[in-house]
Amino acid sequence: MDVTDQTFQTAVIERSRELPVVVDFWAQWCAPCRQLGPVLERAVAARAGRVELAKVDVDSNPGVARAFQIQSIPAVKAFRDGRVATEFVGALPPAQIDRFLDSLLPSETDQLVALGDEESLRRAVELEPSRADAAVPLARILHARGDRDGALSLLREVPGSFSADGLAARIELERSHDPLPEPLESAFAALDAGDHRQALDLLIGYLPASDGIRDDLRRVVVGVLDELGVDNPLARESRRRLASALY
């Protein structure tokens, strides 16, 4: 597909939010470009619609070439989610082109995590035990079923994940405090129902009275905030409230 200065935004940037788009910056006079082009076309075609190829003639489309600082051709940039994910310059051999394209595609674990059912998540954890986006949702399934030990064993394999640490802290609180204080019981019920605002209100509100479990409670809150994401308005508001409650 030939792309111009006028069509680049739609054909590449917007399209890359749906699947990877590989852009070949080339020119008619460039011998390595003519060598690379057919190799790229065959490799992309072999991936049967999972990645698209766009070609930009830098002589006819100086705006795009200037915007992406193309100084030497052939230059190949792969776009994913509206931005450059990876790139190379020069005419690579077919084997390296294959590796370049395959790096853009979802791995087996990615695909299993996207399915999200218990069987798929179990297989994903077998492939990558420390992968948080597989282990944490599977741990939630086990926890909801009452298998706290199974959930904790999964979460211990996920270092550096606030979501995993937060869920582990919740399970530890439930195991060591039976019954839970009523505000925590209600907060966890709200979490399970997907009512993050109510859950965070109760959890942060209970912090001043949380002698002995203050750090565990903080971990639970941080885990919820991590699940919401840094750009979530509720998370931003709750981080400020958490800091005030702690300090």
Q: Measured between alpha carbons, how far is 190 from 193 in angstroms, rounded to an integer?
A: 5
**Chain centroid to CA 231: how far?**
14
Q: Where does residue 66 rank: exposed (0-12), middle (13-18), buried (19+ CB within 10 A)?
A: exposed
Question: Is-catalytic flag, 30?
Answer: yes
Judge contact between 151 and 139, C-beta under 8 A. yes
Helix (H, G, I), strand (E, B) or coil at 125: helix
* CA angle at 139 for the pair 133 and 140, rounded to the nearest 5°: 95
Q: Name the active-site residue from 12, 23, 33, 151.
A: 33
Both structure tokens of 234: 């509720």
Q: Name the active-site residue from 11, 22, 23, 30.
A: 30
Q: Where does residue 76 rank: exposed (0-12), middle (13-18), buried (19+ CB within 10 A)?
A: buried
Active site residues: 30, 33
